[in-house]
Amino acid sequence: MSDKHATLTLNNESIDCPVLDGSLGQSVIDIKPVPKTQHFTFDPGFGATAACESGITFIDGQQGILLHRGYPIDQLAFDTDYMEVCYLLMHGDLPNADQKDQFIHMIKKHSNVHDQINRFFCGFRRDAHPMAIMVGVVGALSAFYHDSLDINNPELRELSAIRLVAKMPVLAAMSYKYSIGEPFMHPKHELSYAENFLNMMFGTPYDDTTKPDPVLSRAMDRIFTLHADHEQNASTSTVRVAGSTGANPFACISAGIGALWGPAHGGANEACLRMLQEIGSEDRISEYIAKAKDKNDPFRLMGFGHRVYKNYDPRAKVMQQTCHEVLDTVGCHDDPIFKLAMKLEKIALEDEYFVEKKLYPNVDFYSGITLNALGIPSNMFTVIFAIARTVGWISQWMEMMSDPNRRLARPRQLYTGPTQRDVSNISDR
Ligand code: ACO
């Protein structure tokens, strides 16, 4: 705590609010004393509210900085891999070689899903959106792993965390295989996390374990790394709110998956590709730019803008480079969708409206194009985001569960409904 204080004066009464300093970034005004004034604070969208203390991820949106446990995202993306980043988020520091081997061993050991989970899939329509399947199946894991549901036991919390990180790519690939009517693939011990995911997506029992091209599996790994955590965003806050009630971790992550699905959040990568397909040709870009600027048109340029980054998205810089590596490897720089995307990027970066409002391409603009080049169908884009973000969600959940000051999340409201009135007899209404 600093020795600074903020004073709120209301109806001649003054309330003293302590100012708390973090290790980086903005200090916060502790407004817990405010209800004593018979008032609440009003902050729709939580743009001015820090809801927790956290030591996992730091973002400076003005400077375009993203740090996980102090390490810059570009260094993590280029100099480590996703398994190391998972360890970092969960344990607070990067692993040494032995710790990394043990962690990978644990992830592989827990990657198979219970055989009865296969039957869950049969309950879904064949054309179900894979995100709909994920919301259901991940929540259903709580019916299978009773032995790790004691949320007050730190070792069991970690076991649930490992189970979730390990099983997410398997469940995600199963949701895709189910939708195309192909048999489920099992994870293979000799493949890395990213290679396994690509193999479970594209391999078949009669033609399996074709190790994916290293550039493509590296790109997949980087997409996982860049989406691993992002501070108190909508889905992470959802996980924390659900967790604050004492709900089990599988239910909390399922809630996070639901929140991620929306096009303003994780659904943006899928929405971005759909938008590119809808625009269709370069000569229609100006029509869509005009729609995006029109206040009376709800259309927004998907993959542009960010609630926090108002300068540039540091993940987008890494993703842009990875995107070009993938396009070079698969040789689709001439594909009309990619050409269209590049043209749109250029126009939006130069257009006064986008420049003035600081609407830069975000990570999902480039990840959508990259995933498309990797042959991933667009309805799987948000699922891939969910695989990657699971480690962030569960690390934030574990941090919250070990916080002695944890409280049930219970926001207040500004009530604008009818004042008290009496119920009349039904014949008089
Ligand atoms: N296209 C056109 N105009 C936009 C866009 C866009 N993509 N994004 C914001 N604006 C405009 C708004 O209309 C608003 O204009 P105004 O000041 O004239 O009213 C202004 O920019 C500010 O927009 P807000 O909605 O207030 O900004 P906010 O921070 O709430 O929105 C958001 C952030 C939701 C990401 C928004 O930029 C958006 O909808 N982008 C498209 C969806 C997207 O790509 N989401 C992915 C986010 S990244 C992620 O989740 C990993």
Residue nearest atom 32 of ligand 1, based on CA coordinates: 306
Name which of 132-141, 327-336, 415-424 the model is least confident about: 327-336
- Three-class secondary structure of residue 300 per DSSP: coil
Residue nearest atom 30 of ligand 1, based on CA coordinates: 307
How far CA 22 is from CA of 2, 46, 400, in Å, comes to: 9, 19, 17
Considering the chain, what percentage of its residues have pLDDT values greater than 70? 99
Q: Would you place residue 249 in the very low, low, confident or very high pLDDT band (cuts 50, 70, 90)?
A: very high
Predicted confidence (pLDDT) per residue in 361-394, tens digit: 889 888 988 999 999 999 999 999 999 999 999 9
- Three-class secondary structure of residue 169 per DSSP: helix
Give the separation between CA 251 and CA 245, rounded to whole angstroms: 11
Please give the pLDDT value at position 208.
61
Mean pLDDT confidence for 357-364: 89
The helix (run of H) or strand (run of E) holding residue 184 is none
Residue nearest atom 27 of ligand 1, based on CA coordinates: 307
Could you confirm whether 150 is annotated as catalytic? no
> From the alpha carbon of 266, which atom of ligand 1 is closest?
50
Ligand 1 centroid distance, CA of 379 (Å): 22
Give the separation between CA 157 and CA 82, rounded to whole angstroms: 21
Please give the pLDDT value at position 1.
59
Annotated catalytic residue within 68, 110, 306, 313: 306
Structure-token pair, residue 403: 């916080």
Residue nearest atom 49 of ligand 1, based on CA coordinates: 265
The yes-or-no verdict on residue 151 having pLDDT over 90 is yes
The yes-or-no verdict on residue 120 having pLDDT over 80 is yes
SS (H, E, C) 365-422: HHHHHHHHHCCCCHHHHHHHHHHHHHHHHHHHHHHHHCCCCCCCCCCCCCCCCCCCCC
Ligand 1 centroid distance, CA of 25 (Å): 23
Ligand 1 centroid distance, CA of 59 (Å): 18
The yes-or-no verdict on residue 222 having pLDDT over 90 is yes
- pTM value? 0.91
Q: What is the dihedral of CA 109, 98, 148, 68, to 10 degrees?
A: -110
Predicted confidence (pLDDT) per residue in 62-109, tens digit: 999 999 999 999 999 999 999 999 999 999 999 999 999 999 999 999
Mean pLDDT confidence for 122-126: 90
Annotated catalytic residue within 364, 403, 422, 428: 364
Give the separation between CA 383 and CA 212, rounded to whole angstroms: 20
Predicted confidence (pLDDT) per residue in 417-426, tens digit: 999 999 999 9
Mean pLDDT confidence for 21-39: 94
Residue nearest atom 11 of ligand 1, based on CA coordinates: 357
Candidate from 309, 318, 359 with most ligand 1 atoms within 8 A of CB, to mutate: 359
Predicted confidence (pLDDT) per residue in 97-116, tens digit: 999 999 999 999 999 999 99
Could you confirm whether 221 is annotated as catalytic? no
Nearest-CA neighbor of 138 among 246, 225, 223, 253? Answer: 253
Mean pLDDT confidence for 336-362: 88
Mean pLDDT confidence for 132-151: 93
DSSP string of 308-328?
Answer: S-SS--HHHHHHHHHHHHHHH
> From the alpha carbon of 272, which atom of ligand 1 is closest?
44
Give the separation between CA 217 and CA 332, rounded to whole angstroms: 17
Please give the pLDDT value at position 331.
84
Ligand 1 centroid distance, CA of 305 (Å): 5
Please give the pLDDT value at position 210.
66
Give the separation between CA 217 and CA 219, rounded to whole angstroms: 5
Please give the pLDDT value at position 176.
94
Please give the pLDDT value at position 335.
79
Average pLDDT, the chain: 93
Ligand 1 centroid distance, CA of 265 (Å): 10
Give the separation between CA 30 and CA 248, rounded to whole angstroms: 29
- pLDDT greater at residue 300 or residue 2: 300
What residues line ligand 1, using a CB cutoff of 6 Å? 264-266, 268, 292, 300-307, 357, 359, 362-364
Mean pLDDT confidence for 333-354: 87
Candidate from 237, 301, 304 with most ligand 1 atoms within 8 A of CB, to mutate: 304
Mean pLDDT confidence for 122-151: 92
